[in-house]
Amino acid sequence: MRNGVELVEILDDYLRSKKISRRQFCSLVDIPNSTIATWKSKNILPNVELIAKIAAFMNVSLDWLVYGELFDNANEQNTYENPCSRKSILYRIEIVLRQTTNDFDYDFQAQHEKYLKDIIDYETLINWSNYQTDIPETTLQNIASKLKVPLQWLLTKDEYHHEDDIKTYGWLFGLAKQYEGLLKGYDCLEEEDQKFIDNYITSKLELRQLKREKEMKNK
């Protein structure tokens, strides 16, 4: 369980990333500015109602703000190598959104605002992928429906399908056809070379995620 000092530090980091002063924040959520200073100086947690206001403002869950990770070893399991992890699900969302634009300078947030804004806030989606909040099960169902991909694929990367699913997987077949030469070349490589390429792509995606998180903090 976090203490008062940790809570205020998390809040201050968030406010700095959004370029919001404590005074502005207190005015927005109706909390006395001196109260926050007291939490830190006396290392005490405020009541649940006040913490709930902070959590709502930051788009994070009350459980995460008070206790940290939503469950044990969440970050250890949340890797691109785990096809069912939240990071992997977010990556598959990004894959589909990437197919909606021909812009060389691809911007995930801009595509999210264009296609998914009515379903989930961008910051909430990023926080969810980092286990800082939770979302209703229907949210992922709605995202899959909006992106026209199977929910099973979005959640697990399971690409098994039947002939009746051709329309559902049309975007995937189109992508495969577009990069047919590269896929054939990949298929002809030795297993060790394929693993090298897989690891390279994974590292690039992780760097992109870190860059995205850094950009969010600097906003």
Last residue of a domain, one of 49, 67, 85: 67
Q: Does any domain span residue 211?
A: yes
pLDDT in tens, 43-100: 998 888 899 999 999 999 888 888 876 555 667 788 888 888 999 999 999 989 988 7
Residues 59 and 136 in one domain: no
Residues 37 and 124 in one domain: no
Last residue of a domain, one of 67, 95, 122: 67
Residues 92 and 184 in one domain: yes
Q: Does any domain span residue 173?
A: yes
For range 163-182, the mean pLDDT: 62
Measured distance CA(84)–CA(78) in Å, rounded: 9
Tell me the residue range of the domain where 137 lies: 77-218
pLDDT at 79: 86
pLDDT in tens, 90-131: 999 998 998 877 665 678 899 999 999 999 999 999 999 988
Q: Among 6-10, 160-164, 165-169, 206-210, name the one with the lowest average pLDDT.
A: 160-164
Residues 139 and 200 in one domain: yes
Task: Grade residue 164 by pLDDT with cuts at 50, 70 and 90.
Answer: very low
Token reading at 62: 């009350």
pLDDT at 5: 93
Q: What is the DSSP string of 79-147?
A: STTSTTSHHHHHHHHHHHHHTT---SS--HHHHHHHHTTTTS-HHHHHHHHTTS----HHHHHHHHHHH
SS (H, E, C) 61-72: CHHHHHHCCCCC
Residues 50 and 29 in one domain: yes
pLDDT at 115: 93
Q: Does any domain span residue 86?
A: yes
Mean pLDDT in the chain? Answer: 83
Q: Does any domain span residue 184?
A: yes
Residues 90 and 130 in one domain: yes
Q: Does any domain span residue 141?
A: yes
Whether 166 has a pLDDT exceeding 70, the answer reads no
Q: Does any domain span residue 72?
A: no
Last residue of a domain, one of 48, 67, 86: 67
The total number of structural domains that make up the chain: 2
| 22: CATH | 1.10.260.40
Task: Grade residue 174 by pLDDT with cuts at 50, 70 and 90.
Answer: low
Residues 180 and 121 in one domain: yes
Task: Grade residue 145 by pLDDT with cuts at 50, 70 and 90.
Answer: very high
Contact 15, 27 (CB under 8 A): no
pLDDT at 182: 77
Residues 214 and 133 in one domain: yes
Residues 54 and 86 in one domain: no
